Structure 1
């Protein structure tokens, strides 16, 4: 069993089966006590076996286990679908047997079934799992954890006149300037990004473009994919207008020329006056 001091609701652990009971299997939850894995999920497990489970609360506040992997774990941010609403708040689908409550006090606007909410999974004062859409309480505005060029996980949280405010690694706020976007982002979209600049005030400037050689390789792959999708030929070349290149690949003309030059040297494409084609 994972060290009992680290066990917390809303996360996944490998726990040992203690014994079988009428309605399932009891697992060793350490300081949380015995945890029930219901019969419908017990399979062929026997006492002494270990099983990977997610810990959660049932409707009566008891700790339960499920072999299902949640869409988001405690301490993580995700866009979740609204299943239903009640006098308590909205219930969200997080991939577990019991839907996740987003109380009215933790909402930032009205929600309806079929809609979505960008939330973090957390707990209330009694330790019960819930969701919160008030991300400002959980995200830090400044950070000294990263270096320029570091790869980070991003979630699009809020569009502004300058670009998009992003959740960085579930812990920080960062900003992507509009000019850095290769394509429009959607609220709640998860993307891989990079630390573009460490500002003097400690805030993060972000980019979706990989630095250096990695950026060139990614653009080359993007060009090859576009060529294959277009039947092997694109009406773009080293004489094309910068705007046309940017509209197609969200990159500068110089970066485009470097990428197609590398593909030409690798004998993957042929460069003509006003177009490129697969070799």
Structure 2
């Protein structure tokens, strides 16, 4: 009986014998099959010591591989999303020939921000009481332990990162340099997916070395985009809407997903261009200027 307690771990093992389909590796108590297609380093002789990852393959056989994944029971790293199964969660590829499930219990409540195939999740492996191994997003504490401090010179620079955590408060990002970033809902037009790769502008470097990121263009560029969005909304609604510069921030955000200040700038641009008028508590397309 093969010892299942070492599933999901990296072990130092000795080659104990050759088989028809590879070799057997031993820890002195248990032998683990090392199939020929899982040998990725030179095997020279019986008794040779090798590092191997122990796991259950797609046929649910406990085997060894000399492919050493970054993600194990004892370590975490990025894993690519291979498949999305709405009633279960997503399966991620850690580099071996078997995908590991990230349960829907560890994904956002809103399926709109679930990862898609090709996205990347920051995970480690976890094992249940039945020795079944799953992938699980790592905790915020584990992220904090291993951060790089962003330099003050990063302000206003463009960064690329992946969303590793998605909450109501906003999206948390890790950049390739190891900086932790935060995207406030005000600083995005749509919520990025968990695992999505984003490119944004650094708008603040905190004293603790973390950064705040905006996915919105610079203010002068945003004004044009927002004005176009408001004008298109008017055209789609018979040229009239009940929102004006006096409307509440919540009403504006519910409709356009922008702040009241951004909305007022957009209205100001349209008013200056004489594309709209405001009367009787409504904003109306100025058809005389069309």
TM-score by length of 1: 0.48
Tell which structure's C-alpha radius of gyration is larger.
Answer: 2
TM-score by length of 2: 0.47
